[in-house]
Amino acid sequence: MFIFVASVAFAAQATNPGKKAASPAQLAQQEKMKTCNKDAKEKALKGDERKAFMKKCLSGKTSGAPATTTVAPPTATAAPPTQQEKMKACNKDAKDKALKGDERKKFMSDCLKK
């Protein structure tokens, strides 16, 4: 019976050798990751904007603080609006100007090229 118990314990240890404890640097990086992810989610960042934000945040170039304490210069260098955002803005402008047909088509073309 003792041999059976010992072999089961040995087998359990062999299949799950146990995780090595995380170093303080790894724990700090995990916390930084959590904070940066939370901030990116709060700012509703997607795609390339999120990728750029995460890169800056994880490298320590941003404080990772909530949006209320963000410094103005980083927002001044924000990425240009996405194609979808341009479309929404141009459609709204065309609707406000009550453009139709070829006139609308030309306006949309010019607006989206900006």
Digit-coded pLDDT (tens) for 7-49: 555 555 655 556 778 788 888 888 989 999 999 899 998 999 9
Which amino acid would we find at residue 103?
E
Q: Is residue 62 a contact partner of residue 43, using CB atoms and an 8 Å limit?
A: no
- Segment 52-75, tens digit of pLDDT: 998 888 887 765 444 434 444 445
Give the model's pLDDT for residue 28: 85
The residue with greater pLDDT, 76 or 103, is 103
What DSSP letter does each residue of the chain carry, written as one string? -HHHHHHHHHHHHHH---PPPPPHHHHHHHHHHHHHHHHHHHTT--HHHHHHHHHHHHHTSS----GGG--HHHHHTPPPPPHHHHHHHHHHHHHHTT--HHHHHHHHHHHHH-
Give the model's pLDDT for residue 78: 66
